[in-house]
Amino acid sequence: MTSRKVVSFENIKVACKNCSLATLCLPMGLTPDDVERLDCIIKRGRPYHRGDHLYRGGDKFHSLRVITSGSVKTYSPNEDGGEQVLGFHLPGELIGLDAIQDDCHTCSAIALETTAVCEIPFSQLESLSAIMPSLQHQMYRLLSREIGQDTEMLTLLGKKSAEERLATFLLSFSERFKQRGFSASDFFLSMSRHEIGNYLGLAVETVSRLFTRFQDENLLRVERKHVQLLDIPRLYDIVQGCDSAKSSQSRG
Amino acid sequence: MTSRKVVSFENIKVACKNCSLATLCLPMGLTPDDVERLDCIIKRGRPYHRGDHLYRGGDKFHSLRVITSGSVKTYSPNEDGGEQVLGFHLPGELIGLDAIQDDCHTCSAIALETTAVCEIPFSQLESLSAIMPSLQHQMYRLLSREIGQDTEMLTLLGKKSAEERLATFLLSFSERFKQRGFSASDFFLSMSRHEIGNYLGLAVETVSRLFTRFQDENLLRVERKHVQLLDIPRLYDIVQGCDSAKSSQSRG
DNA sequence: AAAACGACTTGATCAACATCAAGAATTTCT
DNA sequence: AGAAATTCTTGATGTTGATCAAGTCGTTTT
């Protein structure tokens, strides 16, 4: 039920140097020698199943984690039982960066499907980065990138309409799937409508209606989790917020 | 017109070891020796005036900056002329972390009043942190903290009502002023209503109305930029989102 | 001091999206 | 396979906060 497999689950013994995700991940920009040294501290456990927690808010922080297959939702459980979905993470993406601050996870991470991860013990990573300038640089870059992504999300939630939010969401997945060698226009979403709505600051019903409307406007075809983007350029127009997108469509 | 001064503008020659902000800033947790070494790479220029840019989106990235007095607004100028305010920064706070990613500022920073900063050339900081584990650790912590703050902001914009947003905003300033040795309940805001609204994802008019309403409910007194918080506990109740706050007030 | 400008406030109206409610389609459980 | 529980969709209604409009107050300019 995974959208598509990047690394099959049996590759538990895979090393960074053989990993197709290396260019997206921590080893990016490192020399083969350095990758080898980094590889030594990485732990690869058995996969998580749908609904398993990788960690929970409040847990002591030990390791950063890179998704190698499957997908993960991070969320912060807020006082009144509800939750705020913070992100959906695909293979090659690093999670747990927010926990460095005080050695404690501030949010929770849960597998949305069968999911494998690499665990990188942070204290060892820190030691290694102290003697490996390229790794230190890569860490600074990744942390900085995370900040940049969060601020983009702030603009999305602060200023964009429901329509713009969903289009941005879909194109984000499109781009990320493409980066990973999959179709940019035909993919499966592993999260529910409810989770999409929560992430985008919208009600489930609004998300559902928007999917229907986008389909009516021939922007995409959708059937449950399966999404086919039919007019990516017009989706980008919508993201821009200019309503030129509207004028160029002719309802069928 | 500054809210209050932390370090007078003349302290251009101040060193980290004498700086009252050291416990909030990069030197936090460093030994006096390490602080000394860090101090060597820091540049302290003449103050910026209201409206001066510290940097603009697109500028090449050279230095992180710590506010030492005054205040700064960061914002990302978006395509259609508008802007998204990303944050308001007080003395001791580090800005520019988002630019590490690709050596280029993604957002702009502008002084809201007369403002002094320490400049920390990043390449030198990076080199130093490679030979100073405690500094490296502090950098990781600060970057992680920034991520944590951004995700809090995501929850604010994704789930909270206008009332909750403004209460959170005010208490954030209250806490930060207190941390810096000033009154938690009596301060000046250096930004306009328009900027507050932009930051919180609200229209100016909504912000203005909320100030009026909070004042009517004896939560605070406000006159232009001058704010006096009269009932901080009830403001915290509002932040929580439980409407117990409403029931405990009796309109006069 | 008068005039012009910008920031803030207040009121009236409107629209986008949430909420409530019910039904259809899927998945899970037994 | 059949029942129960979810998830998703669709419609009707309601509310929050945006937008539009006008006026007040403060500040800067001349």
Cα B216 to Cα B81: distance, rounded to the nearest angstrom = 36
**Confidence bin at A238 (pLDDT 50/70/90):** very high
Beta bridge partners of A226: A188, A223
Q: How far is the CA of B208 from the C1' of C1 (A)?
A: 31
pLDDT of A154 strictly over 70: yes
pLDDT value, residue B207:
97
Check if residue A211 sits with its Cβ under 7 angstroms from strand D. yes
Q: How far is the CA of B14 from the C1' of D13 (A)?
A: 63
B101 vs chain A: nearest CA distance in angstroms? Answer: 4
pLDDT value, residue B60:
97
Q: How far is the CA of B194 from the C1' of D21 (A)?
A: 18
Range A7-10, long-range pairs (CB < 8 A, 24+ positions): A7/A68, A7/A69, A7/A91, A7/A116, A8/A69, A9/A47, A9/A69, A9/A114, A9/A116
Q: What is the pLDDT of residues B187-244, one digit of tens each?
A: 999 999 999 999 999 999 999 999 999 999 999 999 999 999 999 999 999 998 765 5
pLDDT value, residue B242:
65
Cα A10 to Cα A47: distance, rounded to the nearest angstrom = 9
**Confidence bin at A71 (pLDDT 50/70/90):** very high
Strand C positions closer than 7 A to protein CB: 7-12, 16-21, 26-27
Percent of chain A whose pLDDT exceeds 90: 81
B77 vs chain A: nearest CA distance in angstroms? Answer: 10
pLDDT of A69 strictly over 70: yes
**Confidence bin at A42 (pLDDT 50/70/90):** very high
Q: How far is the CA of B57 from the C1' of D20 (A)?
A: 33
- Helix (H), strand (E) at residue A199: helix A193-200
Residues of B in contact with A140 (CB under 8 A): 100, 126, 139, 143
**Confidence bin at B75 (pLDDT 50/70/90):** very high
Q: What is the pLDDT of residues B10-22, one digit of tens each?
A: 544 678 888 889 8
**Confidence bin at A13 (pLDDT 50/70/90):** low
pLDDT of A183 strictly over 70: yes
Q: What is the pLDDT of residues B106-133, one digit of tens each?
A: 999 999 999 999 999 999 999 999 999 9
pLDDT value, residue B15:
87
pLDDT of A3 strictly over 80: no
When mean pLDDT is compared over A6-20, A230-244, B202-216, the highest value belongs to B202-216
Conformation bin of residue A3: beta by default, left when phi > 0, alpha when psi is -120 to 50: alpha
Cα B139 to Cα A139: distance, rounded to the nearest angstrom = 10
Q: What is the pLDDT of residues B53-67, one digit of tens each?
A: 999 999 999 999 999
Q: What is the pLDDT of residues B177-200, one digit of tens each?
A: 999 999 999 999 999 999 999 999
Region B131-139: mean pLDDT is: 95
B178 vs chain A: nearest CA distance in angstroms? Answer: 21
pLDDT value, residue A198:
97
The reply to whether B81 touches chain A by the CB within 8 Å rule is no
What's the mean per-residue pLDDT of chain A? Answer: 90
pLDDT of B8 strictly over 80: no
pLDDT value, residue B13:
60
Q: How far is the CA of A84 from the C1' of C1 (A)?
A: 58
Q: How far is the CA of A168 from the C1' of C28 (A)?
A: 33
pLDDT value, residue A5:
45
Q: Is the pTM above the cut of 0.85? A: yes
Please tell me whether residue A234 adopts helix, strand or coil conformation.
helix
Q: Do A151 and B240 touch (CB under 8 A)?
A: no
pLDDT value, residue B246:
46
Q: Do B153 and A154 touch (CB under 8 A)?
A: yes
pLDDT of A105 strictly over 70: yes
Among the ranges given (A78-87, A142-151, B37-46), the one the predictor scored with the smallest mean pLDDT: A78-87
Check if residue A207 sits with its Cβ under 7 angstroms from strand D. yes
pLDDT value, residue B245:
47
* Best residue of A64, A124, A131, A144 to probe chain B, by most B CBs closer than 10 Å: A144
Instruction: Give the one of A147, A198, A200 whose C-beta lies nearest to B146's C-beta.
Output: A147
The reply to whether B104 touches chain A by the CB within 8 Å rule is no
Instruction: Give the one of B82, B130, B143 whose C-beta lies nearest to A130's C-beta.
Output: B130
**Confidence bin at A14 (pLDDT 50/70/90):** confident
Contact residues, A window 200-229, toward B, CB-based 8 Å cutoff:
200-201
Three-state SS string over chain B comes to CCCCCCCCCCHHHCCHHHCCCCCCCCCCCCCHHHHHHHHCCCEECCCECCCCEEECCCCECCEEEEEEECCEEEEEECCCCCEEEEEEECCCCEECHHHCCCCECCCEEEECCCEEEEEEEHHHHHHHHHHCHHHHHHHHHHHHHHHHHHHHHHHHHHHCCHHHHHHHHHHHHHHHHHHCCCCCCEEECCCCHHHHHHHHCCCHHHHHHHHHHHHHCCCEEEECCEEEECCHHHHHHHHHCCCHHHHCCCCC
Nucleotide with C1' nearest the B212 CA: C9
Check if residue B222 sits with its Cβ under 7 angstroms from strand C. yes
CA angle B206, B112, A240 (to 5 degrees): 55
Name the residues in A208-237 having a C-beta closer than 7 Å to nucleic acid strand C.
Answer: 223-224
pLDDT value, residue B243:
57
Nucleotide with C1' nearest the A161 CA: C16
Three-state SS string over A203-230 comes to CHHHHHHHHHHHHHCCCEEEECCEEEEC
pLDDT value, residue A203:
97
pLDDT of A221 strictly over 80: yes
| C-beta of residue B154 within 8 angstroms of C-beta of residue A86 | yes
- Residues near A163 by Cβ (< 8 Å), separated by ≥ 6? A210, A238
